Amino acid sequence: MSVAMTLNTREQKKQQTRRAFFNAVLDLCMTGQAFSSISLRQVTREVGVVPTAFYRHFDDMEALGKSLVEEELGQALIVLRDRLQIGRQRSFDRQIAKSIKIFFQAIDEHPRFWQFTVSERFGGSEAVRRALNEQIKLLSIIVGEDLVLQPAFAHINAFDRRLLAEAGVNLFFSWIIDWLELSYSEFHDDEADNEEIEAKKQEMLLHCTRQAQMLFYGAYNWKSSEETLMND
């Protein structure tokens, strides 16, 4: 085996172990445990390595959490940003409704990522909070830039488009836990409940679509020249 192949194999194993640490954290958090309460020994036990092996990949648990957000959750947000394109020139009918479906599909594809995101966005780990806020801030910036491409928002200045994008992102994120509970609640294990669950999902999809339509359609009538009366 050549030196290059050996190095490549080593790097692959390193990445596999690194991802195993990420998966261990996501699995523990999916059970309801907060990241700040997870110990290094818990994680290494889940991965099946000795605690000293942890330090070959991360300096401490905070570094693990930060890397998890930047590498795994960051990639999930990149995929979501590419799919959503809320403000792009309309290439299909009912853009808002279909964008919300895409958002919920993204949650279904990686439920652990999204559960971790909403649980730890205001959690006890400062490093994780900061990393998540940076990723969410980036999502808001890109959505704001997309909005300028939509004629309906061309009259709104850049600052207000950014506020609209932030409001939209926060609205979308407020739905995550309810959607996950519909999909993964322990009370929905019986196959006989599938039809009822699907009906509830469709109802939630309708309600979320209406909320988003009220937000984005309402912005059409906003005049950026209007000043907010701070003392109202």
Tens digit of pLDDT for each residue in 165-216? 999 999 999 999 999 988 876 555 555 578 888 899 999 999 999 999 999 8
Residue 230: what pLDDT? 44
Cα distances from 130 to residues 61, 119, 124, 188, 199, in angstroms, run: 14, 14, 11, 34, 37
Domains assigned to the chain: 60-219 (1.10.357.10)
Distance CA 68, CA 6 (A): 26
Distance CA 11, CA 104 (A): 34
Name the pLDDT band for 84 (thresholds 50, 70, 90): low
Q: Which residue has the tokens 């954290």?
A: 25
Distance CA 94, CA 37 (A): 43
Nearest one of 201, 223, 220 to 87, comparing CA atoms: 220
Q: Give CA 115 to chain center in angstroms.
A: 8
**Does residue 90 surpass a pLDDT of 60?**
no
Q: Give this prediction's pTM.
A: 0.81
Q: 40, 61 in Cβ contact below 8 A?
A: yes
For the segment 139-153, what is each residue's pLDDT rounded down to a tens digit? 888 888 888 877 888
For the segment 37-64, what is each residue's pLDDT rounded down to a tens digit? 999 999 999 999 999 999 999 999 999 9
Q: Which range, of 53-67, 91-105, 112-126, averages the lowest pLDDT?
A: 91-105
Residue 76: what pLDDT? 79
